[in-house]
Amino acid sequence: MTVRIDNFSAGPAVLPVTVLEQARENLLSLGDSGIGILEHSHRGKAFLSVYEETVSRCRKLAGIPDNYHILFLQGGASTQFFMVPMNFLQSAQTADYLVTGSWAKKAVVEAKRFGNVFIACSSEAENFCEIPDERVASDSPVYTHFTSNNTISGTQFLCEPDTPNGGFLVCDASSDIFSRPIDVTKYGIIYAGSQKNLAPSGVTLVIIRKELVERGAAELPTRLEYRTHAETDSMFNTPPTFGIYVMGLVFQWIIDQGGLQAMENRNREKAETLYRFLDESDRFNATAKPNSRSMMNVTFASGDDEFDAKFIAAAKKAGFDGLKGHRSVGGMRASIYNAFPSAGVDRLVEFMREFESTQS
Ligand code: PMP
């Protein structure tokens, strides 16, 4: 029998067991096609129906209207850091960026290659431990970019930021996409790397308003224009077929769980269990400010590096993997995405309580 342990990895991350089982079943033959899912041509009927199913489940799941394209791109969320400004930001124009973490900072670096960047807020001086309440806006930004969940520092926006001076909203939702209901109509572009809440790594989901696709730059290398991917149903070149397939299974899994509201309820409960313990603990402290805490990545530390290292080693031995904080911040991080089971959170809390009581 296969033994699975509690995997708190920030990404690639845990996937629903039923999804893995379905994928395994279709590895040698997708349905009764006699050809495995990894081996089907992306131009064939069998894969085209997988693609169409993934798109339609995505629309159903998040209530995505017809005036948005759903694209499956490559190059990770990091490629969107430059594709967005490359397509929409001209050298004399300005885009506003909310700098709430290291990934947002990386997005800023890329945007500056194309136009002006206005920093609408930054929590860098506080080690990104909060989502700042106070934000400013430039006079007429082309767009406002934010990172809905900050994977490394463990903070999350409660709702979309305002865009008082116009411009469309762009969101890097890599680490919390579909973890709660979303009103897609508030956004121009939502992008997310797949390896946390969606699928194995290798696909980037991009949800983009059709009118923007038409408006985007038209002299870029073909592959770097959104238009190209919209016009070819994400098949300008060979798409990441397996990732698209698994994403479709994950969408169906979320629908079967009761949809995005049910996901949020479950995610909230899991996160609250952990934060409640951390707030009561004598040794462990949550590192994100209470009003900015992420439901996806719970970051914590004891303030004593030696204690943290001892805890991480003991946890690993006890079957809790991936708890080491990001190398840039240290401490611990429990990533508890959609597919992470509640029972695993309960087990971790139990283990931490026990560990704490045995340390003087
Ligand atoms: N944005 C966020 C919020 C992330 O967490 C990550 C990856 N951890 C990235 C962007 C970069 O994603 P990718 O590796 O897909 O380029």
pLDDT at residue 328, as a whole number: 87
* Residue 49 CA from chain centroid, whole number: 26
**Ligand 1 atom index nearest CA of 10:** 8
Q: What is the pLDDT along the chain (360 residues), one digit of tens a residue?
A: 789 999 999 999 999 999 999 999 999 999 999 999 999 999 999 999 999 999 999 999 999 999 999 999 999 999 999 999 999 999 999 999 999 999 999 999 999 999 999 999 999 999 999 999 999 999 999 999 999 999 999 999 999 999 999 999 999 999 999 999 999 999 999 999 999 999 999 999 999 999 999 999 999 999 999 999 999 999 999 999 999 999 999 999 999 999 999 999 999 999 999 999 999 999 999 999 999 999 999 999 999 999 999 999 999 999 999 999 998 899 999 999 999 999 999 999 999 999 999 986
How far apart are the CA of 243 and the centre of ligand 1, in A? 16
Burial class for 123, CB neighbours closer than 10 Å (0-12, 13-18, 19+): buried
Domains detected in the chain: 6-15+258-358 (3.90.1150.10), 17-256 (3.40.640.10)
pLDDT at residue 240, as a whole number: 98
- Nearest-angstrom CA–CA distance, 129 and 14: 25
Residues for the chain: how many in total? 360
Burial class for 48, CB neighbours closer than 10 Å (0-12, 13-18, 19+): middle
Q: Are 161 and 136 in contact (CB under 8 A)?
A: no
pTM, entire model: 0.98
Residue 193 CB less than 6 A away from ligand 1: yes
Ligand 1 atom 2: residue of nearest CA: 174
- Write phi, then psi, for 200 (nearest 5 degrees): -65, 170
Residue tagged active-site, from 6, 96, 176, 196: 196
Q: Are 155 and 131 in contact (CB under 8 A)?
A: yes
Radius of gyration of the chain (CA): 21
pLDDT at residue 105, as a whole number: 98
| 3-state SS, residue 119 | strand
pLDDT at residue 306, as a whole number: 95
Token pair 């770097």 in the structure block, residue: 224
